[in-house]
Structure 1
């Protein structure tokens, strides 16, 4: 929360969009447009509120932070903030790092459902047949009557379940870091995964990348998945051990639909491109027509709170606090 004195000393707001394109921004700030270009739009030391450019990579996003000596808020436009965590130690004590929880729920959940349906019904195979001018009807698995396990049940995981509801799944099972009850039913703790994995036809990864989830989907995890099961990753690539997944794909025992990979971008010639039973999209869960209006609404709401000295939403870390810097 900024004091009046702090807003007077440093009242620049850096936006990745031209400020004239966002209606209803509060008065009292100097709005600067910077989308990770080579030149800064103004002295970073005068920046009070920094909106991180979207999909420009960690190096570009972190570049101005060492000079933002009076920044009070760093706002990402992503739900995941792992790319900004190295910058916490460069932020002044008390500065807040906020994520974009809720911004990508609709778009990412929509892609998750798209990947599930496309992989189960073998849409890539039909596209290849179309390219070859071949008519190849066949039976394919349906989503109906399948058991779906969602690993990571935050706002995106919940939005995925919203979209699964009309598809007559046999059941949807929820897993998160800690157990809790919801109106839909229980959320199981991660410690229950071993027992739940063999029951799932589709496993959807929607968890944030943390030290606790990095490499979560390794050889043991994959070995416990049932034969023929589908792994869907719309979270972060390093949650999955790529070599372990490749082994399961090449054996034909499992299938996968991946919006994120490790490494990412996936380089040309990587064996994952041509592994059997895999569908890959290039990290497009968030970038859709749903992004811009929701991003502008989030920034307008956060800046209005900041101008009024009110607590911000989605604060995930504060510089200088134990364990954060």
Structure 2
């Protein structure tokens, strides 16, 4: 079925950040409009019932049309985190559902978490700099094999990270989440256990959502409990880490860090994190990869089909 742009104005309207013509199999029974954060809206925002937030456009863009969306029923993000939209939920029409993109970025973000871990441990940035200088620097570097890895935030992305750690012969993988439980791979410890778990971890990977409880979770006390020489990998949100506390540890040379997200973000030119010793930084690229677009289209097809049929939507994280 093809997307219907010209149907009755009585049909519910969906705003999508991907051109509807590019998404095969969109359900009938809806009107579709394309908006990816540009200055002009494709329709009166008051007509919109299903709003898919533009991807990686920032809070100011994503939230801009919300005050005018008086008939809104669903806000769908294309990110796992919803911290940029969540503050607007109380202002939305009563009953509006906020859905995240759980599962969409698991593979891509887990790949990057592993890539950052390996690159930092084996000092790939140092070898790249040596190559640029035409220097042959043969040195011993830490391996991931036989290391203890602590995953903080064991949701779908955390589980996907562990899937990819399995072939690397880690000595131990420890899982931490807000809700302790038992999985097929072993127990998930509560956040309250972190003070006892941090001193034994060679690598700490942050994969938790940003909430009031996790903001600055990795503060001076958290970082101070990490063992000398340990690596902190953050593919969650920048504000999960206290930047000043991390800078203190990096400048002392006690810890290393591989960061796909920072606070502030984007990281401004001249910020001390750029040149902090032992820091590897990528510009929030866990999700943007070749895996994104086909999975985003599949998520939208499924959610819109459910919306048309008045079936329960997936990944509901809040209700206005």
TM over 0.5: yes
SS in 1 for 2:187: strand
Q: Which residue of 2 aligns with 1:45?
A: 46
* Cα distance between partner residues in 1 of 2:273 and 2:46: 44
Deviations 1:85-130 (A, max 9, x none): 1221221100100000000000000000000000000000000000
**Secondary structure of the corresponding residue to residue 216 of structure 1:** coil
* TM-score between the two structures when normalised by the length of structure 1: 0.95
Alpha-carbon distance in 2 for matches of 1:248, 1:308? 53
C-alpha contact 2:11 2:31 (8 A) present in aligned 1: no
Distance 1:247 1:64 in 2: 40
What does residue 132 of structure 2 align with? 131
Which of structure 1's runs of 4+ aligned residues deviate more than 2 A?
7-10
Q: Secondary structure at the match of 2:150?
A: strand
Measure, in 1, the Cα distance between the counterparts of 2:139 and 2:34. 53
**SS across alignment from 1:175:** strand
Instruction: Give the secondary structure class of the aligned counterpart of 2:307.
Output: helix
- Determine helix, strand or coil for the equivalent of 2:280: strand
Distance, in Å, in 2 between the alignment partners of 1:295 and 1:261 is 25
Partner of 1:318: 319
Matched ranges for 1:164-183 at <5 A: 164-183=165-184
Is the 1:147–1:200 Cα contact (8 Å) retained in structure 2? yes
Structure 2 unmatched runs, 5+: 1-7
- Identify the residue that residue 211 of structure 2 maps to in structure 1: 210
Counterpart residue number, 1:58? 59
1:71 aligned residue: 72
> Which residue does 1:13 correspond to in 2?
14
Q: Distance in 2 between matches of 1:136 and 1:232?
A: 25
The C-alpha deviation readout for 1:271-314, integer Å capped at 9, x for no partner, is 11001000000000000000000000000000000111100000
The match for 1:96 is 97
Secondary structure of the residue that 1:156 maps to in structure 2?
helix
RMSD: 1.0
After TM superposition, the score normalised by the length of structure 2 is 0.97
Match of 1:147 in 2: 148
Aligned residue in 1 for 2:5: none
Contact 2:50–2:76 under 8 Å retained in 1 = yes
Partner Cα separation in structure 2 for residue 220 and residue 8 of structure 1: 57
Match in the other structure for 2:249: 248
Give the secondary structure class of the aligned counterpart of 1:267.
Answer: coil
Q: Provide the residue aligned with 1:194 in structure 2.
A: 195
- Unaligned 5+ residue runs, structure 1? 1-6, 320-325
How many Å separate the matches in 2 of 1:56 and 1:310?
A: 29
Instruction: Give aligned pairs, total.
Output: 313
